[in-house]
Structure formats: C-alpha cells, structure tokens
Structure 1
Amino acid sequence: MSSSECFENPPILSSTFGKGIVKELGGLKTYVAGTDHSKLAIVLISDIFGYEAPNLRKVADKVAAAGFLVVVPDFFNGEPYDLDNPAMNRESWRKAHPTDKGYEDAITVIVSLREQGVTSIGAAGFCWGGVVVAKLAKTDHIQGAVILHPGRIPEDEVPEIKIPTAILGAEIDHASPPDQLKRFGEILAAKSEVMDSFVKIFAGVGHGWTMRYNREDKWAVKSAEDALQDMLNWFIKHVH
C-alpha cells in the first residue's frame, strides 16, 4: 500500500458517470464500456477512491473507443476510502482491502472474461491498483500491463514480472520515487530477450496525477492525457 499521497485530493464520485453500464462480473459490481463482442479486454484497477471516480470512467470510455472491452471492477465492495468520513480509519481500511485480495479478485474477473470468449487481456492499475497489476504481471493471466504512479511495490517482486510492462511515474512522488521506478526499469530492461518494457517519469507532477488533477491547470491536464495515451498505445501494441 502506498503512503499518504493516495489519500489526498480525492475525486468527486458519481454512480452514473460514463457511457458504459454497471453489471456484475466475477462476483463484483463492474463498470463496463465497449462492445461485449470484443475478444480484447482491458481491466482497469482503481486507486483507493474506487471504481466510480469520473476520471477513471472517462479513461475507460476512451480505451473502449479504441476497440477494447473495458472493465472497471469495484474491488472495495462499495467501500472506497472516504476522506470526508471521520469514522474511517486509514490503517483499518488498508487492512480490510489488501492488495493480495485485490489480486485474487482480479483473477476471478479475468477468468470470467475468458469464459465470455475474450482471448487477450491487458491490465492497468493506479496507485493501489498499480500494486495489484504488478502481481498480475508475474503471471500468464494477462498479456500486457501498465502500472501508473504505483503504491509501494517490493523490489524483489520486479524480477518475477514476465509480460510486457510499462511503468508511468511522477517526478514528485514519495510513494514510488522516480529513482526507484528507474531501478525497476533497469531490472525489466535486463529481460529484454523475453519481454518488452517501458518506464517514463513525467516532469512536474505528483502522485496520482493521472486521476486527480486540476482541470484548470493545462499542464496537469496535458500530462494526464499524455500518460493515458502512452497506456493506450501500450495496449494496442501488446493486447491483440
């Protein structure tokens, strides 16, 4: 789990935002965008503020427009972290929603997609979700991974990554410092004979910048859009 940066500047939640629909998938309430007939699927795994975040659903809609079936499961079962709830304890919330459980739930969702006829799957994770995607990238369950401003990923897990993986980080980030992400990139680059990898650090932005940016800040908006375009390009390249 990442440090306190994840708990700053939460998005405004909306249960109705987005062009897709909400239905059950793998036992979880899931926002679904795109055509059910696509054989290519992308699983988006949220930060701690949950699957209803408008910016996350906007990303899902954009990726779906490129021809993917996009699913955004509610890994928190209706209990995203809420900064406005004084009764919600940060450490208790973390313990109740460990990334190991997120990984197990993600596998269940992926199995359900396979049962629907999906043949190739990518996964992208933001902060908390980035840690989950790092775990998925150590398996054959997905074909491409994108990790965006992740929480704390143990360095000894990185050599176990076995599928094409892109890491998009922020210049100002105590949870996943640029130097650490660059080390991760060096580890992955050493495996270039067996997999593709990509690490990019975005200047002038902080942790969570792809989801929680100031819409009045043109630089912040452009940085988020550039990162999400990199994510989409990665999926187009590796999920086919």
Structure 2
Amino acid sequence: MFTFSSYIQIAEKVAAAAGFYVVVPDFFYGDPYLPDMQLSSWFPNHLPAKGCEDARKVVADLKAKGASAVGAAGFCWGGMTVSKLSAYGEIEAAVILHPGPLSEDDIHATKVPTAILAAEIDDYSPPEQMKKLGEILSAKLVDNFVKIYPGVVHGWTTRYKDDDEHAVKSAMEAHADMLNWFTKYLKSG
C-alpha cells in the first residue's frame, strides 16, 4: 500500500544517486487522497493550481538559498501541478509520472524540458493522449521525453507489490529515467 513515505524513499534514492538536494513538501497539508475517498469531494479542496502556487514559493525559496537549478517531479495529482509550474519557467526541468488528467493548455504553456512517464493502462492519462502531449512539446521546440511503460497501471511508480517482478522492474526503470532527465538538465557541465 502506498504511503507518503514512498515519496520520501524515491527522493532519498534520487538524492543519493546524484547528490541532488531534494525536498518533498506536503501540498496536501496532511489530507492526502486515499483509495476509499470520493475524488469528487476531495479534489475541490486540492486543486493543482493551488499546488502550483505553493510549489512556486518552494522554488523561490530554494533559489534564494543558492540553488542554481531546480527540477520538479510530480506523481498523479503532482503531475498536473508540475505541468502548471512548467509554464512559469522558474524551474529548469520537469518530470511528470503517471499524471492525472493533463490539460493541453498547460502543455502548450510549458517552457522547460519535460519528461512524461506514463502507464500503458491508465484511464487518467491514456497513452495516446500522452504521445499527443509529447507532439505538442516537440512542435513548441521544448525538449521532451515521453515513455509509455508496458503492462503497468496508473500509479505504478509508487504503488507496486514487492513480489511482482515486472512491477518492481518497471518502477525502478521509471525512477532511473527520472534521475537521468534531471541529471541531464540540472547538473552543470
């Protein structure tokens, strides 16, 4: 079962592997979405636009404290938030993992290199739509990487069974792809 600690573990792995300083703010303020909740009652109190504004404050604070390059990764709801954040050009790279429904308008507004890591089986972000978003980014001349991971479902990078070899391998591959994207854009030559 997924917990907030899953994000912490991924952040620690990224930090250890590349030496990045990683922060994991709780933009749900202690009220995460849980599988037994009604999305329609939870979502209005957790809009991605609010998450974006909260993230902008974190980015500004990091840069004020000397960070020369900032990247943002977003999972599901966070992917929608990162897509909005990418429009401001305040970060240097974005990774969006198994996003919730992404707006084409947000992708049209994106100003930073963006990787979209998506599941083959996903009603929130179907592979065809994710490929189309990559085409939009390419047409804008924004460097992008869209990858559809075969045989996995929405949430696979954080919610998988440790005894499912394919699920673990796919999640680890996505984490490596995220790390490679950030290394490409956040590490100075």
Q: TM-score normalised by the shorter chain: which range applies?
A: over 0.9
Deviations 1:137-156 (A, max 9, x none): 11111000000110111112
2:163 is aligned, of 202, 213, 216, to 216
Task: Find the partner of 1:167 among 108, 116, 135.
Answer: 116
Q: Which has the higher strand share?
A: 1
From 86, 93, 98, give the equivalent of 1:149.
98
1:89 Cα deviation after fit: 4.3
Equivalent of 1:69 in 8, 14, 21? 21
1:83 Cα deviation after fit: 4.0
Q: Distance in 2 between matches of 1:81 and 1:222?
A: 26
Higher RCO (C-alpha under 8 Å, 6+ residues apart): 1
- Percent identity, aligned pairs only, is 54
What does 1:123-138 correspond to in 2, within 5 Å? 123-138=72-87
Instruction: Mark the CA change 1:205 to 1:83 in structure 2 (over 3 Å): closer, same or farther.
Output: closer
Amino acid at match of 2:119: A
Q: Does 1:179 align with 2:141?
A: no
Secondary structure of 1:72's partner?
Answer: coil
Q: Distance in 1 between matches of 2:87 and 2:48?
A: 14
Structure 1 or 2, whichever has the larger Rg, is 1
Structure 2 residue aligned with 1:82, among 18, 30, 34?
34
Give me the TM-score of the superposition, normalised by structure 1.
0.74
Greater per-residue helix proportion: 2
The letter of the residue matching 1:75 is F
Identify which of 4, 8, 15 aligns with 1:57: 8
CA RMSD in angstroms, aligned pairs only: 1.3
Task: State the partner residue of 1:238.
Answer: 185
Count of aligned pairs between the two proteins:
186
Q: Give the Cα–Cα distance (whole angstroms) in 1 for the partners of residues 139 and 34 of structure 2.
A: 40
CA distance in 2, matches of 1:112, 1:239: 17
Letter in 2 for 1:154: S
With normalisation by structure 2, the TM-score equals: 0.94
Question: Residue by residue, what CA displacement relative to the aligned partner does 1:87-108 show, whole Å, maximum 9, x if unpaired?
Answer: x543221111111110110011
For 1:158, the equivalent position in structure 2 comes to 107
Q: Does 1:199 align with 2:150?
A: no
- Matched to 2:167, the amino acid is A
Confirm or deny that 1:116 pairs with 2:68. no
Q: Which has the larger displacement, 90-99 or 211-220?
A: 90-99
CA distance in 2, matches of 1:83, 1:166: 27
- Distance in 2 between the 1:67 and 1:191 partners? 31
The aligned counterpart of 1:94 is 43
Q: What are the superposed Cα offsets for residues 145-180 of structure 1, whole Å, 9 maximum, x if unpaired?
A: 000110111112212111100001000000000000
Instruction: Name the SS for the 2:99 alignment partner.
Output: coil
